[in-house]
């Protein structure tokens, strides 16, 4: 039987998501919830539905053996819903778009969009808020492109490390920033700038289709995506950590479950996850000695994990209701 603690986590997610979305429903003049835009009072039904789904997800993910499975399912749902709303906004009615304005759904645009336009972006603010609250959870549960990369990278991952990863990531991030500044400086038209962004998105999809699928690891997210690079550096402002305790017998079973190149042989020998770790927790289900754990100040590892699940699932649920472009 499930413990009372399992239900407490689900109830906490349900109450918190309901409260946060209710504040959005009551305080924001322009309807932010999709159903409210079409049916007066429909936002309340959407709040109840999303909060219930978040509670179910929390219940399922609290079991370490099921956590990875349900994380992937929920992430796929998020990506499908995101792109479905995008298509509905383009083909049917721009009411489906969060701001009523179309923005290119390429992760790099979260960085380059505000630089090119010289103004703040709601997606950039939402992205930065996830880092403050949950560290690298954007790269394991909230990125619409990442879910595609995750699906294509299914299967056992090779233990061979991508040695060129960090230099390539840093060069790509710097290049995108420099190119964006140049586009703005030379007054390149929005149409042409959008074409440049579109080409970048197509290159990313090609990497997912050919390299992530071949290597059974998330090459796009681990090497190519500039947002992933930003997350890897900024995630340390968040106090959550993952570590490997002294009970580890170096069986290396966890390495085949890590899609982010963050559990190599050297990482395990050093008793800490690698730089690219997104705290997804998939590795925990394969650890026979229960040595891979979450850490948050003076909390026990179990309570630290539950707190992380509460924050990530709540944030996911809120984004599911509002995460449109």
In a domain, 292, yes or no: no
CA separation (Å) from 190 to 43, 185, 197, 282, 312? 34, 13, 10, 41, 35
* Cα 26 off chain centre by: 27
In a domain, 293, yes or no: no
pLDDT value, residue 324: 58
Distance of alpha carbon 245 from alpha carbon 82, whole angstroms: 38
Domain count, the chain: 1
Question: Among residues of the chain, what percentage have pLDDT more than 90?
Answer: 56
In a domain, 134, yes or no: yes
Query: What pTM, to 2 d.p., does this model score?
Result: 0.91
Give the burial string for 41-64 (b: 16+ CB within 10 Å, else e).
eebbebbeebbbbbbbbbbbbbeb
pLDDT value, residue 220: 92
Distance of alpha carbon 151 from alpha carbon 11, whole angstroms: 30
pLDDT value, residue 1: 45
Tokens coding 65: 């053996």
In a domain, 98, yes or no: yes
83 closest CA partner among 96, 99, 101, 100: 96
In a domain, 249, yes or no: no
pLDDT value, residue 4: 60
In a domain, 104, yes or no: yes
Domain enclosing residue 37, as ranges: 4-238+307-322
**Up-side HSE of residue 233: CA atoms within 13 Å toward CB?**
8
Which ranges of the chain have pLDDT less than 50?
1
pLDDT value, residue 3: 58
In a domain, 301, yes or no: no
In a domain, 174, yes or no: yes
């Amino acid at each position: 039987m499930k413990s009372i603690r399992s239900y407490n986590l689900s109830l906490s997610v349900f109450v918190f998501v309901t409260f946060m979305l209710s504040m959005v429903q009551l305080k924001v003049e322009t309807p932010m919830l999709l159903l409210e835009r079409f049916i007066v009072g429909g936002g309340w039904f959407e709040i109840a539905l999303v909060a219930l789904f978040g509670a179910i997800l929390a219940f399922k993910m609290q079991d370490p053996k099921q956590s990875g499975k349900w994380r992937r399912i929920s992430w796929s749902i998020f990506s499908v819903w995101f792109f479905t709303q995008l298509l509905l906004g383009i083909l049917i009615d721009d009411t489906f778009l969060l701001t009523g304005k179309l923005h290119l759904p390429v992760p790099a645009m979260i960085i380059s969009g505000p630089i090119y336009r010289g103004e703040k972006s709601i997606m950039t603010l939402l992205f930065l808020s996830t880092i403050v609250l949950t560290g690298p959870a954007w790269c394991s549960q909230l990125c619409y492109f990442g879910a595609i990369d995750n699906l294509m990278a299914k299967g056992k991952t090779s233990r061979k490390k991508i040695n060129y990863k960090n230099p390539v990531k840093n060069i790509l991030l710097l290049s995108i920033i420099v190119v964006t500044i140049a586009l703005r400086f030379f007054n390149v038209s929005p149409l042409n700038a959008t074409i440049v962004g579109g080409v970048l998105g197509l290159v990313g999809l090609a990497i997912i289709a050919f390299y992530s699928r071949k290597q059974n690891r998330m090459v796009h997210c681990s090497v190519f995506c500039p947002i992933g690079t930003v997350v890897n550096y900024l995630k340390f402002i968040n106090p959550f950590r993952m570590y490997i305790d002294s009970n580890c017998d170096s069986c290396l079973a966890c390495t085949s479950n890590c899609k982010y190149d963050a559990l190599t042989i050297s990482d395990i020998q050093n008793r800490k996850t690698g730089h690219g770790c997104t705290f997804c927790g998939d590795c925990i289900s394969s650890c026979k000695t229960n040595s891979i754990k979450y850490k948050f100040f003076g909390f026990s590892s179990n309570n630290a994990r539950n707190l992380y699940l509460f924050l990530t699932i709540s944030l996911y649920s809120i984004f599911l209701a509002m995460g449109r472009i």
